[in-house]
Structure formats: C-alpha cells, structure tokens
Structure 1
Amino acid sequence: MARQEDETLHHIVVVGGGAGGLELVTRLGDRLGKTGKARVTLIDGSRTHLWKPLLHEVAAGSMDEDRHELDYLAHSHWHGYRYRYGRMIGLDRTTKQVHLGPTFDEDGLEITPPRSFSYDTLVIAIGSTTNDFGTPGAKDFAVALETPEQAALFNRRIVNACYRAHTQKEPIRHGQLHVAIIGAGATGTELSAELHHTTRAVVEYGLDKIDPDKDLRITLIEAGPRILPALPERLSTATAGLLAELGVVVRTGAKVTEVTAEGVKLADGGFIESGLVIWAAGVKAPDVLKDLGGLETTRSNQLVVLPTLQTTRDPDIFALGDCAACPLPGGGFVPPRAQAAHQQASHVYAQIRRRLKSQPLKPFVYKDFGSLVSLGHYTTVGSLMGFIAGKSMFFEGMFARLMYRSLYKMHQVALHGYGKVILGTLARLIMRRTEPRVKLH
C-alpha cells in the first residue's frame, strides 16, 4: 500500500540525482523522510543513476552499465523519499515552485505532462554538461561523454566499426579505426588508455582481419601545454609517459577548429584522420540555470553560492556539485570533482538539519585529498594530499588502483550500505568469470 505524505511537513526538493544529489537525498530520506520529520523529493530527467567517473569505462566497453545503474524509483521506495521524473525548466521563487517540462518516449508520446512542485528548501545539483565552444561539426560528428546513453552509443559505434572493418571486401583504409579524443582532462586521458586495451580485446575474439598495431590508433588532443591540466604537473608527466609506452599519440598545444566525418582539423592547419571522435573538452553548467529565478550565475552558468552553499540571492536555495560556484578562501572556486560533490552533499545535509532546528549555518570547508587517474588494465597513478606533514605523495600501481576503486565503493556505501555493497561486489566477481572481458554488442 502506498504511503501517504503529510503535506504540513517541511518539504525538501533536490533537483539532480548525480553523485552529490543522490547521496544527499538518500541521507535525507533515511534520517528525515522515514522518521516523519520532513518530506523529501528528488527530481531528475533520467530514470537511473550511474556514477559519472565510470562513463569512460562504459564507452570503452570494459563495463556493462546495466550492472551498475541504480533505479531511482526503487531506491526512493527503499530510502524514504519521493522520486519525480522530469527536467527543471523554470523556477518561481515568489511562490517557491520548481517547474518541470513534459517528457516523451522514443515514439514522441507524452509520458509525463508539465508539472510544478512546491518546496520549502530547494537544493540544485544538476551537474555540468559538455562545452564544445561552438566548434563547427562537434555536435554532428563527435560524441560527448556526459550521460550513460552517450557512453553506450560510442561503445556501439566502435564495436560496429570493428565488425565493419572485419567483413568489408576492400582493405581497411587509413584512419578508419582511428579514435580521436578531444580533451585530455581526467575523462579523456582515462578513456584513451581504456580504449587501447578494450579495442585489442574485441579484435582478439575473432576479428582477425584487423591488425591492432597497424589499424588501431588512439590520439589524445589537448589545447593546453600538457595533459591533465587541472592536476599536479608530476602526475601529468608520469601519465603522459605511460600513455606513450602504450602507443597512444598525445598532441598538446593542439586547438581543434572543426570536426568532420573524416577527422579533426587543427588551428595550425594540421588534420588528424579519425573515423571515431569523442569530445571530452570543457564543461559548463546547464543552460537552464541562465536567469533561473533571478539567481546569480557565472559566465559558465554556475550558480554563485555563499560559503554555506546557499545561493547569494535566496537563503532557501542551496547549490552543490559542478553547477555551483563555491569560492575558495585563497581565491578561485571549488573544482568540479567527485570528491567535492561528496563533501558538499554531507555539508548541505548537516545545514538542512540545522535549518530545521533554527540553528545558524556553518561554512563549507573543502579538503583536497589528492588526485587519481586510472589507466585501466595497465596501471593507476595518483597523489595523496597531506600524506606526510601536509605534503603530497606520488604513487602508482596496485595501491593506487585500490584507492581508485575505493572511491566508487564509498559512493556505493553512501547509497546502499556496507551489506549490499559487499554482496553486490561478490556477485559481480563471480559473473565476470563467465562473461567476455569487454562488451561485444
């Protein structure tokens, strides 16, 4: 029997079920929703959640997204909050309502009509989107990597390209199985190494017309002077060396001016032949945040927030994660990283509890615990901040890989608890012994 909600309870609405938003709404539902202390609602335009740092593995085919996706409707039932399907298209701060647009299926039939939801406290956590900077051809010939659907699309394209090359009568042409990855941040860099392994694994299953060393090529393109520009230079240098050993071609100082069906044009007049292109350069907050209820935003559409993570023009609205411009004490803003979203979710949870008790709010303090970059099957490199007397320590190999995997496990524990995570991990280990190493369809 469906539970009835008490309309008189304080209503907390969280828009966006990414890493930070989902961790927040899970804690709110468990601690406030289930105990009848508040009503909690999650709004998201997708029906399932996948931890965004895993998208490069889905794109490469080393992970089946179906085994790692979380169903919002089921999760909300188990954790004491309500899930409502739809995308935010507007906000009325006077009446304190969030407006959602209609949703449609693949045949164009309406699933849900336009709706509005009232709130007492609103949290906006809708993440970020790819910024192609208006580059000609980017939308037509490159696949962005911001949703599970896009990652799965690229994986199908590369598997199809391998089948096509294996069965065609004519010889494999130069560039046909080349992949160009535009943007050498964490996503692009990790994808380059993951693809190097998985494309060869696909060929090993019997596509013997393809010569991996001759026909497969991966080029990582970065406009800046080095890859991983947001991470420590030592980490960037070590990763570049490892990619070079794998045969991944790294092009730094290379600005892309156009993407075509045949490849990528560069500002210096160069051209990189590529049958497959991924755009992983640049992020911005979603366009819906422009002039959203008159809230203050940056040039990249991020909501400007106070140290408490409340928006500057409305204390009843919080923002966290990639869509929030949270100032750092020494200047600049909190970086758009998973660890920041995790910390901000914990902070907003605590502040909402304080608001309900009419207590003053506390400022958010970001702690940088370091950086990790996974090169898939080959190795993982990283640095831990404050490891010894406030300094960072560089490390790689098995320890770094365990640390990298533990980040995802921490996210899973926040959503499911230790028991379910342990059982799920054991089940996947058993299943992997009966399945191919990469996704082949």
Structure 2
Amino acid sequence: MGEERSTASQPARIVVVGGGVAGLEIASALGKRRDDGLIASVTLIDSDSAHVWKPMLHTIAAGTRDLAQQQTTYLAQAADAGFAYQPGEMCALDRVAKEVLLAPITAPDGREVVPGRRIAYDKLVLAIGSGANDFGTDGVLEHCFMIDTRRKADAFNQEIRLRMVRSMTQGEGLQVAIVGGGATGVELAAELVQLAESARAYGAIGEAARFGIVLVEAGPRLLPSFTEDISAATKRRLEALGVTVLVNERVQQATADGLVLGDGRTVNAGLRVWAAGVKAPEFLSTLGLQTTRGHQLVVNDHLRTDDPDIYAVGDCASFTLPGQIQPLPPTAQVAHQQARYLIDTLPQVLRDPQAGSSERFAYRDMGALVSLANYDAYGSLGKFGLFNGGTIRGRLAMLSHLWLYRSHQARLYGFWRGGFLWLVDMMNSRLRPSIRLD
C-alpha cells in the first residue's frame, strides 16, 4: 500500500476530502495541532469555495438567511486554522501510490482552468457527503431543483426571487411543490411561508392565494424518523400556515408544469424542489473499497474502510452499531460525533498505531430537532441520562435548534469569535431586511 510514513518520527500528511460538517471540523481541529510533531500537513479538498452548515441550506434556498453572512470560505478558514485548501473534485484514488486524483477544473465555457492533479496522503479521510436521491424518477433531474449544496440552494433562491418579481409586475401566481416530507422538505416549506409573508410586507406580492406551497410525501406521515406525535403536530402546523400537505402520494414523474402522482393526478407547480432521500456519490463504488447499494463506504468501529489508511465519515459512510440492523442515519449529529472521534483518535494512531486503534467509535443519540421557521419547532430527546425519548416544542426547541448551529460555529472559529458572529447575526436580524431582496 505504499511506503509507510505516518509514524511519530515521520509526520503524516493528512488529506480530508469534503468540507462539510465533518470534513471542515476535522481539518480545522487537526490543522491547529500540526506543531505536535505527528502531523506534517493537513489538506482539505472541496469542489466548492465555501462551506454552509447543511441543516441551514433550506434557509439559504428560501432567502430567509443571507448566504454571504452564513458561509465560511475555505481559504480564510485554512489561513486561520493552519490547513491547506485545494479546490477540485475527487474523481479517483490511487491506493498503491496513496494519491487522491482530482478532475480538471473548467470554466463555464469549457476552458480548462486547472489540469487534473494528484494529492499525496498518508492518512485519508473521505467526508464527501451526499446528494438528493431521485430514485430514478422520470423528469426529476430536468425539471426539479435540489438544495443539497450551497450552490444549488443559492440557484433556487435566485430563481424564486425572479418568479416573485414576475408575480409582482405581471400579477401571475406562484406555486411551489416540494417532494419529500423529511426534515429538509418540512423546514423548506415553513421557510417559504415566512418568505411569502415577508415579501407581502415589502409589497413584492399581493394576496396570499397567489403564493401556494404543496408538500408531497410518499409515506403515511411527515418526518418518519420522528415520533408520531411530532409528525402529526407538524402536519397540523404547516396546514394552519397554508401549506397543502399530501401524504401517501408517490411522484411518478416531474414535468415542466408540475408533478404527476402515482394515480395520474397532476400537481401544478411553476417551481419544483426534490428533497426526497439522499445517496452518496456513485464514484465511491469505483475506488475498490466496500460500499453499500447506495454507494456509501462501509466502515468499522474505528471508522476505517477496508484500507487501514482510509477513513470515511458523515453521509458518505455506512456504520451500523453493534446489535442494530440499520446503519446510522445521514445527519449532521452523526457527522459531528464521527468528526470528534477522529479528531481525538487519529493523533493517537499516528503516535502508536496499536494503542490508538483500541478506542472504538461510540454513538450517542442526542435526539432530533425540526424548525418551522419562526413559527414553531419540535424536538425528540435522546435516550440517555435523565432523558428517555421525551419531546419538546416551541421556544425551547427553537433555541435548541439554534444552539446546534452556534456550537458548530464555535468549533470552527473558537468560542469568542463564534460568539461575536452570533452577536453580529442578532444585530443584522434587526437592522437588515428579513429576506434577501437584492
């Protein structure tokens, strides 16, 4: 597997592919530890130029949060945290030479800006994340927006603002259909309600009936990973806000005019968003490592793949807890805990491979939260300590949801800088428009 360099006497080159929740936290934390003599360099590879906390992408898509304020540019973070940033998209892996292969970077007109490159590693962490899963549904890729990346969320926001201008000047109605009743679809629906209310306050659109939102879920209830009482309460709240909720309705086709349901009925919608299911990038199944049918890399309880120098975390990894049948879900909570594990144990492995590999990853279910914009929020508590799977709602759940994001910022920037960012956001929320109007 190539010459072994990752020993205490030979500092290791650590490469992290993917700058999401897990990847950026790992690169930032390990980059600050390069002076311990174990780490020669930390390199972060990502095809984008900036990071946005993935559970916030629906607010960027709706325009209820400003993208410029909420994103972390990789170059700036690299300078602050002591790692190197390499722009590019991983396309292959040379496990013999221990090199990550990056595809050429091209301009929109097809010009090659940067040729393909090879990045050498001693320890590789794959944190590539996941994308929306269209399940092979006809017309989805051609006619639906997806909001699983910063760029895609911003593209949807640009389009919906154009449609709102048309609605304001031409008197046309605006109907948005969202497919997928999980957290992303539910939260996006609520944010779009808030967008519509704020737009009416600014005079951008007229009567409420001219901005319609339809949420379509194939299963029997919304938020299937939450308790039934939270699912029912969420449905009632969305319907009270004017959202049309359709459950037990599978979409068989997406068209330029709307969605065709399983029984042939059509949901007319000028804008369509696909937020049903996730899958890992397909190229992961070409690396010669064990993967699932959904292209996730199978990892053991040290988060290693079947190559001992390659780790996988977050949405692109599949790990099943002992005694369980289903692998851990692709959530920010799982990604963070896996990142924390590698931040703590990878230096130990570099110092002493045998001693460092003794500690196993243990997942603690902290529950789950869903936020309905400024209207409401619900949370299920984890089953540990004094908690036993109870539920919370209202302001407490809203604050808990906000705290998750602020904790992520503190891990990236440190306590004081993260706190100042929170203060700046609070000030901007009072001084700037409540929605993106530029």
> Do Structure 1 and Structure 2 share a fold, with TM-score over 0.5?
yes
- TM class, shorter-chain normalised? over 0.9
Is 1:303 matched up with 2:303?
no
Is 1:261 matched up with 2:263?
no
Residue 129 of structure 1 contacts residue 146 of structure 1 at CA under 8 Å; is this kept in 2? yes
Per-residue deviation, 1:117: 1.2
Question: 2:217 matched to which residue of 1?
Answer: 222
Is 1:37 matched up with 2:38?
yes
Per-residue deviation, 1:248: 1.0
Per-residue deviation, 1:282: 1.2
- 1: CA distance between counterparts of 2:20 and 2:376? 27
For 2:193, which of 192, 196, 206 is the aligned residue?
A: 196
- 1: CA distance between counterparts of 2:84 and 2:113? 18
For 1:100, which of 91, 99, 102 is the aligned residue?
A: 102
Question: 2:318 matched to which residue of 1?
Answer: 325
Q: Secondary structure at the match of 1:108?
A: coil
Question: 1:279 matched to which residue of 2?
Answer: 274
For 1:56, which of 37, 48, 58 is the aligned residue?
A: 58
- 1: CA distance between counterparts of 2:128 and 2:199? 35
Is 1:122 matched up with 2:124?
yes
Q: Secondary structure at the match of 1:386?
A: coil
For 1:73, which of 72, 75, 83 is the aligned residue?
A: 75
- 1: CA distance between counterparts of 2:130 and 2:297? 11
- 2: CA distance between counterparts of 1:159 and 1:221? 23
Is 1:432 matched up with 2:434?
no
- 2: CA distance between counterparts of 1:364 and 1:388? 19
Question: 2:400 matched to which residue of 1?
Answer: 403
For 1:182, which of 179, 183, 203 is the aligned residue?
A: 179
Change (3 A) 1:113 1:36: farther
Gaps of 5+ in 2: 1-8
Q: AA paired with 1:280?
A: A
**Cα deviation 1:93-129 (Å, max 9, x = unaligned):** 1111110011123343333210001111111000001
Question: 2:48 matched to which residue of 1?
Answer: 46
Per-residue deviation, 1:34: 4.1
Per-residue deviation, 1:389: 4.3
Residue 181 of structure 1 contacts residue 278 of structure 1 at CA under 8 Å; is this kept in 2? yes
Residue 290 of structure 1 contacts residue 297 of structure 1 at CA under 8 Å; is this kept in 2? yes
Q: Secondary structure at the match of 1:231?
A: coil
Per-residue deviation, 1:230: 1.9
Q: AA paired with 2:21?
A: A
For 1:291, which of 267, 286, 292 is the aligned residue?
A: 286
Is 1:270 matched up with 2:265?
yes
- 1: CA distance between counterparts of 2:396 and 2:219? 30
Residue 162 of structure 1 contacts residue 203 of structure 1 at CA under 8 Å; is this kept in 2? no
Question: 1:365 matched to which residue of 2?
Answer: 362
Q: AA paired with 1:374?
A: S
Per-residue deviation, 1:130: 1.0
Q: Secondary structure at the match of 2:302?
A: coil
Task: Pick which of 233-242 and 181-190 moved more.
Answer: 233-242
Q: Secondary structure at the match of 1:432?
A: helix
Question: 1:248 matched to which residue of 2?
Answer: 243
- 2: CA distance between counterparts of 1:406 and 1:66? 20
- 1: CA distance between counterparts of 2:45 and 2:373? 33
Gaps of 5+ in 1: 1-6
- 1: CA distance between counterparts of 2:309 and 2:260? 47
Residue 123 of structure 2 contacts residue 310 of structure 2 at CA under 8 Å; is this kept in 1? yes
Question: 1:4 matched to which residue of 2?
Answer: none
Structure 1 consecutive aligned stretches of length 4 or more whose deviation exceeds 4 Å: 387-390
Q: Secondary structure at the match of 2:136?
A: coil
Q: AA paired with 2:432?
A: E
Question: 2:339 matched to which residue of 1?
Answer: 345
Q: AA paired with 1:261?
A: A
- 2: CA distance between counterparts of 1:371 and 1:185? 12
Q: Secondary structure at the match of 1:235?
A: helix
- 2: CA distance between counterparts of 1:315 and 1:233? 41
Residue 180 of structure 2 contacts residue 218 of structure 2 at CA under 8 Å; is this kept in 1? yes
Question: 1:381 matched to which residue of 2?
Answer: 378
- 2: CA distance between counterparts of 1:323 and 1:41? 19
Q: AA paired with 1:328?
A: L
**Cα deviation 1:228-280 (Å, max 9, x = unaligned):** 11222222122112112112111111110111111110011111111111000
Question: 1:412 matched to which residue of 2?
Answer: 409
Change (3 A) 1:374 1:192: same
Residue 226 of structure 2 contacts residue 380 of structure 2 at CA under 8 Å; is this kept in 1? no
- 1: CA distance between counterparts of 2:84 and 2:327? 32
Per-residue deviation, 1:82: 1.0
Q: AA paired with 1:302?
A: Q
Task: Pick which of 386-395 and 407-416 moved more.
Answer: 386-395
- 2: CA distance between counterparts of 1:323 and 1:108? 29
- 1: CA distance between counterparts of 2:203 and 2:52? 31
Residue 43 of structure 2 contacts residue 83 of structure 2 at CA under 8 Å; is this kept in 1? yes
For 1:16, which of 18, 42, 63 is the aligned residue?
A: 18
- 1: CA distance between counterparts of 2:242 and 2:425? 31
Seq. identity, %: 43
Q: Secondary structure at the match of 1:133?
A: coil
**RMSD in angstroms over aligned alpha carbons?**
1.6
**Cα deviation 1:124-144 (Å, max 9, x = unaligned):** 000001111121211111101
Per-residue deviation, 1:375: 0.2
Residue 34 of structure 1 contacts residue 79 of structure 1 at CA under 8 Å; is this kept in 2? no
Per-residue deviation, 1:386: 3.1
Q: AA paired with 2:179?
A: I
Q: Secondary structure at the match of 2:16?
A: strand
